[in-house]
Amino acid sequence: MGRRPQPEIRQRLLDACTDHALAHGLPDRLEPLARATGTSTRMLIYHFGTRDALLRAVLGQARQRQLDTFGALLRARPDEPYTTTLRNAWTSMTGPDGAPFLRMFGQSRESPVRRLWPEFHRAATTDWLGPLADGLRGIGRPELATLVLAVIRGLLLDLDATADTTRADQAFHHFLHTLDHPNGDERTAPPVR
């Protein structure tokens, strides 16, 4: 007679594996995850079925954490202009709190993650359109959600490729200025460094 599934153990293992993957990247072998959980690769396979099933579960949990974290950052606040919310969200996303998510999902362009989660790119785009449109509705511009998302994603790719935080930050702040001043009032534009 086999053992019964133990969802609390599975969840504890998944939490530890996700923490490890966010801190160190998604491994291509199970041994680093076994060490991080204090168990064996055999026990990981018992609870998740296969290596790929475990890695997909880790990606799914990390993505949910990212949605919760970044979603809270992008949520409109009644006492704050939405461009301020976006500015604060950008600072957090590109800072230490957001770095593990950007590092992990930056790997999604590489084949192992793409193979594990082929529809990730679509979800990683469409997941953010609703919260952005809701926030932009506060400044009367919900139709700009795709544009705002494209700017954020493009600057994140730029930042990943160049590590030029100052330039990416300046570009994002200039973009926000265009949202605040759609008629192009340059007298109040942030200085270019």
* Distances from the Cα of 142 to the Cα of 56, 87, 171, 183, angstroms: 33, 17, 21, 17
Question: Alpha carbon 104 to chain centroid distance?
Answer: 8
Give me the CATH number covering residue 58.
1.10.357.10
Q: Residue 113: what pLDDT?
A: 63
**Per the domain annotation, does 149 fall within a domain?**
yes
* Distances from the Cα of 38 to the Cα of 43, 47, 55, angstroms: 10, 14, 17
Q: Among all chains, which residue has been given the structure tokens 């935080």?
A: 165
Find the domain containing 158 and state its range.
7-188
What single-letter DSSP state applies at residue 190? P
Q: Residue 33: what pLDDT?
A: 96
- One digit per residue, the tens of pLDDT, for the chain of length 193 reads 456 667 899 999 999 999 999 999 888 889 999 999 999 999 999 999 999 999 999 999 999 999 999 999 999 999 999 999 999 999 999 999 998 988 887 755 555 666 777 787 788 788 899 999 999 998 899 999 999 999 999 999 899 889 899 999 999 999 999 998 877 655 554 554 4
**Per the domain annotation, does 17 fall within a domain?**
yes
114 burial level (CB within 10 Å; 0-12, 13-18, 19+): middle
**Per the domain annotation, does 162 fall within a domain?**
yes
**Per the domain annotation, does 78 fall within a domain?**
yes
**Per the domain annotation, does 2 fall within a domain?**
no
Per-residue three-class SS string for 40-53? CHHHHHHHHCCHHH
**Per the domain annotation, does 64 fall within a domain?**
yes
Count up the domains in the chain and report the number.
1
**Per the domain annotation, does 150 fall within a domain?**
yes
Q: Residue 123: what pLDDT?
A: 80
**Per the domain annotation, does 193 fall within a domain?**
no
